[in-house]
Amino acid sequence: MPLFTRIEVSEDYRSRGIGTELISAGEDLLRAAGYEQVALAVEITNDRAELLYKRLYFNEWSHGPITCGGVEVLEDGRRKSYDEACRIMVKRLDG
């Protein structure tokens, strides 16, 4: 199943519908390629993003949260990896 990862909009441009447009464009590409579902991982403390995904008809899968890898870009450009607890949310693309 395809997975959307690292969904991020520049801070100054958030809450203007850009994230919704990005996800919708990704879904269209996947539908055109014949996929029936898409998934994404959202950190369990990221309530605002989870709310957005629920509004866009993503549902949490039945297996509970998992540990996934996050990456933080430091001020000097280096990348720092860390583990975080995430919910996996899935959407059917034919609904």
Binding interface with ligand COA (CB under 6 A)? 7-9, 14-20, 42, 46, 48-49, 51-52
Q: How far is the CB of 51 from ligand COA (least distance, A)?
A: 4
**Dist. CA 74–CA 71, nearest whole Å:** 9
CA 1/CA 90 separation, integer angstroms: 10
The token pair that represents 95 in the structure block: 């609904």
- In the complex with ligand COA, which residue's Cβ is closer, 9 or 90? 9
Q: Which is nearer to ligand COA, 1 or 18 (CB)?
A: 18
* E-state strands within the chain: 3-4, 37-43, 59-60, 66-73, 79-92
Minimum separation from the CB atom of position 83 to ligand COA (A): 15
Q: For residues 78 and 15, what is the distance between their CA atoms, to the nearest angstrom?
A: 28
By C-beta, is 34 or 81 nearer to ligand COA?
81
- Nearest residue to ligand COA, by Cβ distance, number only: 19
